[in-house]
Structure 1
Amino acid sequence: MSSATYQPITSINMGPPRHVEESESSSTDMERLALDCLFVRRFRRLAGIVLSNAGAALVMVVLLLLSVAYEVIVYQLGLTTSQFYVVLGKKHWWGFLNQTAFCLGLIALVAFVKSGKQYVSSTVTVQWRQLLTKRLQELYFSGKVHYRVNVVETGIDNPDQRITQDVDRLCQVLCDIVPTLLISPFTIAYYSYQSFSVAGYIGPLAVFVYFIISTLVSKLLITRVVPRVYELEKQEGRFRYKHAQVRANSESVAFLDGEFAELDSTEDHLVELVKAQQSVYNRQLPLNLGVYFTDYAGSILSFLIIAVPLFTGAYDDISTADLSGIISKNTFVSMYLISCFSKLVDLSSGISTVAGNTHRISVLLERMEAINEEDNLMEKIKQANKPSKDDDSDASDEAAPQFVLKNVSYGSPYDDNIFAEGLTLELRPPRSVFVTGPSNSGKTSLLRILKGLWTPLSGSVTREFRGSLFLPQVAWFGSGSLRSQLYYPYAPPKTTPHEEGEIWRLVELAELGHLLKRSGGLDSSLQPMWYESLSPGERQRLSFLRVLCQRPKMALLDEATSALDEDTQVKLYRECRKLGITTVTIGHHACLEPLHEATLELHGAARGGTWTLKERDQTPNGDSTVVENAQS
């Protein structure tokens, strides 16, 4: 027996600070979310993602053209009222018929343009959602970003909701308000000129003053609503996630008689949700009060405007019929000018929703981009420091170490527990290693270090992923056929009749022939959530079949057979040895230990992060060799 003592190294390959990040949704941070320069910058960024697509930009141009056409037709239709006053006042029969026919034509045209505008707006919504979601998903599944934002970091709540529900709501509201925002400056300028031509400078000036006051009030009130919308979206996500948890673990809850506990928990989430929802409505009350006052007050402003030139004698020399037409035209122009401003004020609620969702989506986007940049930088550093291969080396790729840990210390990123100190380990074919130890001793965490999901506190890790396959503790299955499950995440290869027979042999070896009959064969499409009907043992056997079908050089297995009986476990592992698959196994079952050449026992934080590595002599009566670290 030989031993080696290692001193902890704390100056090499240091990981990130070990603490739980403060939630971004604290009250102080939430109050900073408003209609400010940060919102403008974030909105421009999201708009740039969408409009960089030529097709989306073209459809947006079509939407704007239809919006302009709609405004032109509405203007012509609005003037028909004043013309009716004139022809009716003069009792002009043919003029009345012509005006009626012209008006009916405009009505048909405006109906066609408005319906087309709404259809194109819906199409824009779909395109925007697709482009934004695609960009977010590309970042989300880039490297291990999804793992970082969901598991390692706690600063971003409900990333799934931000990618799905928040993007959808943002795009729907945006497509309703963007045409109005872009067209309004032109319509306001045109109707201001028309108002000036009828009522003088009093007309547009009165409307401008009226709008400026209402806008300032709305801006103040919107700023108070935005952070509450942000908080509401967060609570909606938490409430939905709680129910999704219960759905996914319904059988466990039933076995544990946990219905009353889950009811209490969901009630607590509901209380927080309705509190956030009521808070939004409380803040929207004064906002809506200002919006509706602006809408209804504008209805009499047009008459106040025309009253000034009328009572000062500007129209004394005009006939009654023509005066009726002028008053009608002024009423329409002033009312529509006020309507243009009122539409902008009415957008307050929509803008608050846009602002809240823009901040939520942008926070996730910015963090994922930062993680991606960090990973790319680390990869460049790793490649720069990677030693060049010795051209004269006779070592084959098969014998080259796949994972090398040198003086590695690692622990949980959520607390100060150190699972292992100064761990030095080489994992290479054909040497299989059995990793064991008490619960919470860092066995699964070791796989996280090997996979690169966690960063060690000190030491160095060399990883060669080619030819390796990881099986997590919780079996995961996606959509598609049974064949696609066996080769996940890769596309199933084309097989010869001999290879097809081998797959069926392995399926029978794993005692899953009944699953093939139930699903209709290897290539039949499976129903959504099909795997929920599988027992834990069936899930583990199906997951283990990935190793046997894909045949990596090395399989790293995290208690991948814990739900199986010993005979089945031994049978599957012996098949791995037969196929030349080296296994690194995390487990507790003693029946698996003899099937490995070495055993690594982790003692955990309770024993100071010590560990024992025992090499198994392959001769029948040979002694084992032990390498054990010690604290100095």
Structure 2
Amino acid sequence: MSQPSHRFDARVWGQFITIAQPYFFPRDRRGSSGIFILLLFLVIALMFGCLFALTAAVTFGLNALAPELMGQIAGGLMDLIRSLWSDPFSRSLILATVIVPLGVFVLLRRDLLPRWQAWTLLGLLLMLSLSVSGLNVIISFVGRFFQTALAEKNADTYWRFLGVYAGVFVVGTPIVVIYRYVREYLGLCWRDWLTRHFLDRYFQNRSYYAIENASDIDNPDQRITEDIRSFTQTSLQFLLIILSDIIDLVAFSGILWSISQTLTLTLIGYAVVGTVVTILIGQRLIRLNFNQLRREADFRYGLVHVRDNAESIAFYRGEAQESLQVRQRFIEVLRNFNLLIGWQRNLDFFTTAYNYFVIIVPAAVVAPRYFAGEIDFGAISQASFAFSQVLGSLSIIVNQFANLSGFIAGIERLAEFNDALVTPVSLGESQIELVEQPRFALEKVTIATPNLARQLVQDVTFALDSGESVVIMGPSGVGKSSMLRAIAGLWQSGSGRIIRPPISDVLFLPQRPYMVLGTLRTQLLYPGGDRDTSDDGLLYALAQVNLEHLPDRVGGFDVELAWDDVLSLGEQQRLAIARLLLNKRPYAILDEATSALDLDNEQRVYAHIQRIAHNYISVGHRESLIQYHTYILELKSNQAWEFRPAH
């Protein structure tokens, strides 16, 4: 698995594309990343062409209704639109921004139609973003006109353009509000898709188990929840920031150049120096943000661990030690955050001073020209506005570095997780062969730990015919539970051949049964029981394990409770047997599954298992278990073993 670089480089861009692209365009074709980036540029071009056509239609439509007023307000805009449309090259270019993207989308319709919602929302969002940028340009000109009229004490022109200024805000308010809503809604849809995408792969082929036991991926829960949420929202924010900055750079550079070429050149040099210094100062913020995400997740997991094991901690009176470990995790959070805010302070010293000069520089450069009578009064405010817009566009890294460093850290965490889901965790070169047949058998099976550090059992061989069963016994640590993991396919390190029924036909009953989140009905039917089972059927299964009064005690079958706390371990074990009866699995594997039951209940449980199961395998220490099995597999120290009849 690749290690994070904690740097702002091309590798991070590749990780971003890998995660972001599948929602918009499939990655199962050659050159898909290049096609995705091309499509992104084409949809921007298409929205620009559509916006130009809409602007032209609105402008000339209003001109037909009020030619005198529009001549005063937007005469320059109408002249620009006419000149662009009358020029053959400009007209061809504008038409190409619409025709070429539509043609490409038609060619790729097979890949794009399943993702029509994503592209529609993205196109609408980009259209609104372009509209907001256009409004900013209009505001700069209208503001210049009415401020000049104010300086010249031209009341009629002042009030006319002040009204237009207010009208722009009336039109712009719904555009800005809808723009923000569409951005949030697209982020929501993207998060929904990406979360399901990661969850599907997380549960596929038991990747969650492999990651938990043989991977250095910490806190996958936080990566699926917080990191994906942050990734989708921040990706759209940066996309729109970059798009807006490009538009502002093009639009306002022209305005600024027309007012003062000296100011324009000064700005470019100022932005370049600021960007270089910011990267040098803030580079370490990426690593600190990466570590902060991990420390916060570790601290939260420590608190969840206490909550999940509250009863055990209370019995052990382990409050002092648990408090110490939680506090230690919190100290790590604070220590890293202290470093983070320290480096953020260092960066703020520069960026704050950098942004203050936005006010001083344009005023100092443009004011002499106003005093000399070369420009009007409104040009000063327009130059300041244009200067701040262009500087903001050129200073995206300076202004956004703190957010960008956190974003990069999130990308690297998701990329690590994505790599772990794509690349199966290595279980060693030697692997046990698994064969599905309607029986249990082991042929010279040797089992080692997943990291191959220790060999547990060697050359174990046995076979069960229909109706037969085996209990695996032996001292602690010889590999009894490990053998069950190998039979279930969770551990594959070793050699030999395991024959077993399809895993969907086998129900595993551990010593502490898994209590799912949900109702009592959900508990009984987990994982694959008939969801249409009647309450009478559920009551019958509970009666077979002496739990017939449980629904009355807890308030019915459809009440959600914390079942680990409500039920004793013995009740949980009996509930698991009722689950076996309702799931009607023909095979069962029991790992100390009756250890908390008295002998009478144990006998009753095994009577039910013998009645419904073709084969079953048990692990246990109790001598009383022997009478319920056909064979004994005794595992001894030093990898020795013995398979013999139980009677």
Report how far residue 428 of structure 1 moved. 4.5
Between 513-522 and 551-560, the greater mean CA deviation after superposition: 513-522
Asked whether the equivalents of residues 484 and 491 of structure 1 are also in contact (C-alpha less than 8 Å), the reply is: no
Partners in 1 of 2:492 and 2:459 — Cα distance?
A: 14
Equivalent in the alignment of 2:184? 122
Equivalent in the alignment of 2:105? none
Letter in 2 for 1:447: L
**1:571 equivalent among 604, 614, 624:** 604
Is the aligned partner of 1:478 residue 2:539? Answer: no
Equivalent in the alignment of 1:262? 322
Partners in 1 of 2:397 and 2:292 — Cα distance?
A: 24
Equivalent in the alignment of 2:642? 612
Equivalences for residues 289-304 of structure 1 within 5 A: 289-304=349-364
Letter in 1 for 2:120: L
Equivalent in the alignment of 1:397? none
Partners in 2 of 1:239 and 1:339 — Cα distance?
A: 37
**2:366 equivalent among 278, 282, 306:** 306
Is the aligned partner of 1:349 residue 2:402? Answer: yes
Equivalent in the alignment of 1:516? 551
Asked whether the equivalents of residues 430 and 494 of structure 2 are also in contact (C-alpha less than 8 Å), the reply is: no
Partners in 2 of 1:427 and 1:42 — Cα distance?
A: 50
Report how far residue 565 of structure 1 moved. 0.9
1:53-94: CA deviation from partner (whole Å, max 9, x where unpaired): 432232222222212111211222233332222222333332
**1:43 equivalent among 16, 22, 25:** 16
Asked whether the equivalents of residues 449 and 455 of structure 2 are also in contact (C-alpha less than 8 Å), the reply is: yes
Report how far residue 251 of structure 1 moved. 0.9
Match of 1:600, SS state, is strand
**2:204 equivalent among 119, 142, 161:** 142
Letter in 2 for 1:341: L
Is the aligned partner of 1:230 residue 2:280? Answer: no
Distance 1:557 1:159, change over 3 A: same
Asked whether the equivalents of residues 245 and 392 of structure 2 are also in contact (C-alpha less than 8 Å), the reply is: no
Report how far residue 39 of structure 1 moved. 0.5
Is the aligned partner of 1:173 residue 2:234? Answer: yes
Equivalences for residues 528-547 of structure 1 within 5 A: 529-547=562-580
Counting aligned pairs with the same residue, the percent is: 26
Between 221-230 and 39-48, the greater mean CA deviation after superposition: 221-230
Letter in 1 for 2:257: F
1:513-562: CA deviation from partner (whole Å, max 9, x where unpaired): 2321134433x2424x3443211111111112121122222101111111
Equivalent in the alignment of 1:626? none
**1:358 equivalent among 390, 411, 416:** 411
Match of 1:144, SS state, is helix
Report how far residue 289 of structure 1 moved. 2.4
Letter in 2 for 1:75: V
Is the aligned partner of 1:433 residue 2:470? Answer: yes
Equivalent in the alignment of 1:445? 482
Equivalent in the alignment of 1:242? 302
Partners in 2 of 1:308 and 1:378 — Cα distance?
A: 81
Letter in 1 for 2:472: V
Asked whether the equivalents of residues 206 and 305 of structure 1 are also in contact (C-alpha less than 8 Å), the reply is: no
Between 331-340 and 300-309, the greater mean CA deviation after superposition: 300-309
Letter in 2 for 1:517: D
Report how far residue 443 of structure 1 moved. 0.9
Asked whether the equivalents of residues 434 and 600 of structure 1 are also in contact (C-alpha less than 8 Å), the reply is: yes
Is the aligned partner of 1:60 residue 2:122? Answer: yes
Distance 1:56 1:222, change over 3 A: farther
Asked whether the equivalents of residues 411 and 442 of structure 1 are also in contact (C-alpha less than 8 Å), the reply is: no
Letter in 2 for 1:600: L
What 5-or-longer segments of structure 1 have no aligned partner?
1-20, 388-399, 618-632
1:487-523: CA deviation from partner (whole Å, max 9, x where unpaired): 212263434x7xx64542221121222321134433x
Partners in 2 of 1:481 and 1:492 — Cα distance?
A: 15
TM-score (norm 1): 0.82
Distance 1:140 1:73, change over 3 A: same
Equivalent in the alignment of 1:7? none
Match of 1:347, SS state, is helix
Letter in 1 for 2:645: E
Report how far residue 288 of structure 1 moved. 2.2
Equivalent in the alignment of 1:408? 445
Equivalent in the alignment of 2:377? 324
Letter in 1 for 2:412: H
Asked whether the equivalents of residues 392 and 399 of structure 2 are also in contact (C-alpha less than 8 Å), the reply is: no
**Greater relative CO (CA pairs within 8 A, separation 6+):** 1
Letter in 2 for 1:526: E
Is the aligned partner of 1:190 residue 2:251? Answer: yes
Distance 1:563 1:592, change over 3 A: same
Partners in 2 of 1:531 and 1:126 — Cα distance?
A: 34
Partners in 2 of 1:88 and 1:420 — Cα distance?
A: 93
Asked whether the equivalents of residues 553 and 582 of structure 1 are also in contact (C-alpha less than 8 Å), the reply is: yes
Report how far residue 596 of structure 1 moved. 0.4
Asked whether the equivalents of residues 367 and 380 of structure 2 are also in contact (C-alpha less than 8 Å), the reply is: no
Distance 1:111 1:483, change over 3 A: same
Partners in 2 of 1:491 and 1:598 — Cα distance?
A: 30
Report how far residue 344 of structure 1 moved. 4.7
1:141-169: CA deviation from partner (whole Å, max 9, x where unpaired): 0011000001233x111111111122222
Asked whether the equivalents of residues 439 and 615 of structure 2 are also in contact (C-alpha less than 8 Å), the reply is: no
Match of 1:143, SS state, is helix
Partners in 1 of 2:155 and 2:319 — Cα distance?
A: 78
Equivalent in the alignment of 1:158? 219
